Amino acid sequence: MARRNSLYCYRHSASLQLAIILLTLFGFAPVASSQGVTVFAAASLKNALDDIDAAYRRAGGPRTVASYLASSALAHQIEKGAPADVFISADLEWMDYLDKRRLLKPGSRTNLLRNELVLVAPAASKAALNVAPGFPLAIQLGDRRLAIADPDHVPAGKYAKAALQTLGVWPSVAGKLARAENARAALLFVSRGEAPFGIVYRTDAAADRNVRVVSAFPPNSHPLIVYPAALLVASRNPAADRYFVFLTSDDAAAIFSRHGFIPYRRP
C-alpha cells in the first residue's frame, strides 16, 4: 500500500508541476528577451543540454531557458502558441506533427541524435534478465509493476511497447505498468525502488547512479530512436539561429556523446 501511495503522490506532484508550467507559459509568462533563447526539449535531454547551454554561454552566447517535458506535451504547447524558439523531440512523430501544421521554420529541421533502449533495475537489485524473445519479465515482476513512459503518447513508452511487442512479451506485462509522464519520471520510479524494473533510454540510465542496466534491447526490436531538432516558425528571435548553429556543431556533438547519445549519421 505504501508503494502505491508513493507512486500516486509522484504522479500527482508531476501533474501539478505540469499545470504550473502551463500556467506560466500561457497565463503569467514574462515577455521573452530578444537576446535569450527558449528551448523546448525532451526530458531525456536534460543533463546533456544543460551542459551544452552552459558551453554556449561560455562561448559568448546569450542566456538560454530550457523547458524539459515529454515531446508530446511540448508539441501541444507549441501548437497552442507557447513562446519557444527551438524544439528538440525524442522521436520523429512529434516533429512531424508540428511540421504538418507548418509550425517549423522551413529548412531548419535536422536529425540530431540517436539513443538506445535498456531495461534497468535499482542499483542494489540482484535481478538478472536477458532481453530476448519471450524473456520472463512478467514472472520477475510478480505483483509489482514495470516503469515506462506512457506508451500511448510519450516516445520512450512507444519505443518500449514496440520492443516488448516484437519480443512477444507485451501481452504478459501490459496490465502491470507504472505509467510515467516522461522517460525521466519512469527512471525515478526505479531509482527510488518503487518499481523493480523500468525501460528507459541508455542515456537516462547513465545519469542516475541509483539504477543499473540489466540488459539492452536489440536495436531491431523497435523503431530507430532519433532526436530531430528544428527552429520554430513563430520565433522572431535572431539569437535562436545562432544557438541552432552551435547546437548542431561538432562541439555540441562531443558533449552529447559524453552523455551517451549517438550523433546521427545519415544512412
Residues 126 and 191 in one domain: yes
Cβ-based neighbours of 137, under 8 Å, separated by 6 or more: 119, 129, 146, 164, 169, 172, 173, 197
pLDDT at 3 over 50: no
Q: What is the tally of structural domains in the chain? A: 2
Q: How many CB atoms lie within 10 A of CB 176?
A: 16
Higher local confidence (pLDDT), 32 or 264: 264
DSSP-derived secondary structure letter, 32: P
Q: Is a pLDDT exceeding 50 seen at residue 152? A: yes
Does residue 21 register a pLDDT over 90? no
**102 and 233 fall within a common domain:** yes
> Are both 108 and 235 inside the same structural domain?
yes
Q: Is the pLDDT of residue 125 over 80?
A: yes
Q: Is residue 78 part of a domain?
A: yes
Q: Indicate if 41 and 131 belong to the same structural domain.
A: no
23 belongs to a structural domain: no
Q: Is the pLDDT of residue 246 over 80?
A: yes
Instruction: Report the CATH number at residue 236.
Output: 3.40.190.10
Say if 10 falls within a structural domain: no
Which 8-state DSSP code applies to residue 45? G
Structural domain of residue 170, as residue ranges? 117-221
> Do 102 and 176 share a domain, yes or no?
no
Let me know if residue 16 belongs to a domain: no
Asked if residue 230 and residue 110 are part of one domain, the reply reads yes
Q: Is the pLDDT of residue 29 over 80?
A: no
Q: Identify which of 105, 206, 109, 113 has the alpha carbon closest to the alpha carbon of residue 155.
A: 113
Residue type, 158: K
Q: Are residues 202 and 131 in the same domain?
A: yes
Q: What is the spatial distance between Cα 242 and Cα 264, in angstroms, rounded to a whole number?
A: 21
pLDDT tens across 154-184, in order? 999 999 999 999 999 999 999 999 999 998 9
In this prediction, residue 118 has a pLDDT band, given cuts at 50, 70 and 90, of: very high
Q: Is the pLDDT of residue 126 over 50?
A: yes
174 in the same domain as 233: no
pTM for the model stands at 0.80
- 3-30: average pLDDT: 40
d(CA 106, CA 230): 9
Residue 26 predicted with pLDDT over 50: no
pLDDT category at 36 given cuts 50, 70, 90 is confident
pLDDT at 2: 42
Residues 147, 202, single domain; the answer is yes
The per-residue pLDDT for range 183-207, each reduced to its tens digit, is 899 999 999 999 999 999 999 999 8
Mean pLDDT of the chain: 88
More confident position, 12 or 131: 131
